[in-house]
Chains A and B, each alone.
Chain A
Amino acid sequence: MSTNTAVSPVVTIKQKTRRDHTLLKSVLFLLPAWILLLIFFVGPILLTFYFAFTNLTLTGTEAKSTEFIGFQNFVTMFQDPDFRISVVKTIVFLLFSAVIGQQVLGFILAVLMKEKNKTFRRIIGIIVLAGWVTPEIVVAFCWVAFLSDNGTLNMVLQHIGMKPVTWMYTFPMVSVVIANIWHGTAFSMLVFQAALDDVPKSVEEAAVMDGANKFQVLFRIVLPMVKGSIVTNMILVTLQTLGVFTLIFAMTGGGPGTSTQTLPIFMYNQAFVNYQLGYGTAISLILLVIGIGASLIYMRSMKAEI
């Protein structure tokens, strides 16, 4: 310690100038990115906050004379039965398609593919990935073609002597949930594959030596070791799914009635069908709050740090 202090004045000055130098350098390099972020990211977010407290509309008198109306939009929202329905639908969609569907299926796929033949891994990997790389709107069209009244599934059913079912009208939520699982599972699979590959083989072998069976190894050893990846994946998948609009809009339009009206669809309807832009922005803020809330809950419950 003492020798350190004796030499330090010279070093600190040198270090200081170098540190200043690096600081300046990083500021300069980050500046373009900051400016772009400020203009295209922070700006709109601030505007969103502002518009959420106004009666802005797309057309009509209020479009000309927009007024600040305080919390009126939020009061209307919490009294609106349609909003409550949408929150429930959003949570159902999130829970079944993302948290349960994509995660569990992705994890099972990753576990099953672990340490398997390379060619096998590659083929299965490509098949699952195909769903993920397909653009959302194309996924929606594929599933509409598959599930529609005269679609593939009904054709097959009729061939084996069963009655056709109007899938997207009788089971709308199930339809969009399955489509979203099909679309998104590959992402979870990739994350878990990477995480599982990082689990040292020696640890598993040691557990087996101590007499643990396969399930015990998986649940007691492997799962806790990939906890961090699970939380990260959970957050990413949740945020992705909260924002899903195209898939549902193209498949069911949020209908029939309000059966698949998740918050993004509800927001779109209020802003661009009912022309209530201010109200629509207020809903988007709530969506943001739900996303943040869900992420915090995951992090807390898993006691993980990202």
Chain B
Amino acid sequence: MKKRMFTKIAAVSVIGGSMLLSAACSNESSSSESSGKQVVKITYRSGGGTNKGLTDWLNKEIIPAYEKDHPKVDVKLAPLNVSEGDYFAKVALMLKSKNTAPDIVTEDTFMVNSDASAGYLEPLDDKIKDWSDWSNYNDSVKKGVIAQDGKTYGVPYNTDSRGLWYNKDLFEKAGLPVPWEPKSWDDILKAAQAIKDKLPGVTPIWMNSGKATGEATSMQTFEMLLSGTDTPLYDNDSKKWVVKGQGLTDSFKFIDTIYKKKLGPSLSQVLNGSGGAVAYQQMFPKGKLAIGLDGFWQTGNWGESGSAPWPDAFKTLGFAAMPTQNGQAPGTTSMSGGWALSIPKNSHNKDAAWDFIKLASSKENNLSLLKKERNLTPRDDVAKDPSYQEIPMFKEATEFLSFTHFRPAVDKYPTVSTQIQSLVEGVVTDKITPEDAAKEYQSNVTKIVGADNVIEK
């Protein structure tokens, strides 16, 4: 009896012990993965057609070149196949721990400040000091990677601008002028109305309007409108958020009008996370969409290596500057962001990572990336390169940079942005009126940033 009990206990403890041990082992093995080789892991967002150009560029050009010079380093891609909204949460979780942090992470510049304030990123000032190429970077783009503490936390690899895509063929059929140069918000509504009246079956205008499209809803839609009013999102002089102003109400109203007058797509399409892909990979190429308020990078869809190759895209489409609300100076507006390569504080191979970033950011390599990605360059010397200027529409998109706006470099921005997204979705689904949305914006943003950090205009 006693003996049997003893064996039972022994068996249980052996099983239990081995379970605990195996858990401990699996943890250890992940940190010392390679056989003597250093590993540099790169994390970025993938999935569907996302970052196809970037992946291609890393795999075919940068990694082979780097590994040739650094035979002892093994560069590994660790892409995250998630939606845009989830990417930032996942990255934040990964950067928290030494076991999961990659060695290089691509950061949207609006997250740089937040992640730097959280202590997730490594300041690069010491490294940049001895890097002569840094002086070739555009100053306004550099601002995007400098956090509130004044330190630089990343090397930008692209920037962008936003405007109105429009289908010239459809415009001509509807009797609208080509090239289209809208002078005010009213002009946009009028053009959309003309399309609706004359071309049934064509969606007049597409603007990201839901929570599922995340930052695209805040930046490509709401902030594109708001930056054309007299109410800024953030007052850079007093460093305070503007929580009350006619511009806020008017921006919500414009979005509401689009859906009230049925000038937009059906809600079931636009509130979907893959809505943008539907608009730019299916509806535009098929001639089912007339106007789209979005970023310049959408051209990446239509190139040979894009998700929806469309050789006639540059003949058929125009890219117009977004007008200000009533045409007030400077007449047009745009928003810019961009992505940067950063090194996490928990990276194991910071020096190797920095060498990699330097190589990837050289003039030639940056140019080659942007040709694939069809985005704008953060480097002044690349922008002047003749082979860059020859790329269709790069000139127009670059011109938008002269009147563009950047998002506030404050660590609360991401949270305010999600507020904007849910209010915009509330307005388009008629859960809330534009006036109430503006009121709720005031109370919610005040709650987020604190009553000391807000002003009214």
Contacts and interface: CB of A to CB of B under 8 A. Distances in A.
Interface of A: 25, 28-29, 32, 35, 57-64, 76, 81-82, 148-149, 166, 168-169, 253-259, 269, 272-276
Contact of B447 (A61, A76, A149): A76
Nearest to B15: A32
A25 B118 CA distance: 50
A254 B431 CA distance: 14
Given A25-B5, A59-B118, A61-B411, A274 B418 contact: yes
Given A59-B115, A256-B271, A32 B13 contact: yes
A64 B118 contact: yes
B426 interface: yes
B426 A257 contact: yes
Given A61-B411, A256-B429, A272 B266 contact: no
A65 B431 CA distance: 37
A58 B415 CA distance: 11
Nearest to B410: A60
Contacts of B26: none
A272 B211 contact: no
Nearest to A271: B89
A169 B267 contact: yes
Contacts of A61: 117-118, 411
B114 A60 contact: yes
A20 to B, nearest CB: 14
Given A59-B88, A60-B411, A273-B89, A28 B9 contact: yes
A35 B15 CA distance: 14
B111 interface: yes
Interface string B407-438: 00001101100110010011001111000000
A58 B95 CA distance: 10
A63 B119 contact: yes
Interface of B is mostly: helix
Contacts of B115: 59
Contacts of B447: 76
Nearest to B12: A32
23 contacts: A58-B92, A59-B92, A59-B111, A60-B118, A60-B414, A60-B415, A63-B120, A64-B119, A148-B268, A149-B269, A166-B266, A169-B267, A255-B212, A256-B271, A257-B429, A257-B432, A258-B431, A259-B429, A269-B422, A272-B89, A273-B85, A273-B211, A276-B415
Contacts of B418: 269, 273-274
A258 B415 contact: no
B377 to A, nearest CB: 28
Nearest to A252: B271
Contacts of B210: 255-256
A276 B447 CA distance: 13
Contacts of A63: 92, 117-120
B253 to A, nearest CB: 17
A253 B210 CA distance: 11
Contacts of A253: 211-212, 273
A255 B432 CA distance: 14
Closest 3 CB pairs of A and B: A63-B118, A257-B429, A257-B431
Contacts of A29: 8-9, 12
A147 B447 CA distance: 39
B347 to A, nearest CB: 17
Contacts of B88: 59, 275
Contacts of A60: 114, 117-118, 411-412, 414-415
A195 B86 CA distance: 45
Interface in B242-300: 266-269, 271, 273
A76 B443 CA distance: 12
A162 to B, nearest CB: 18
B270 to A, nearest CB: 10
B93 interface: yes
A273 B117 CA distance: 18
B386 interface: no
Interface in B343-396: none
B415 A275 contact: yes
A261 to B, nearest CB: 9
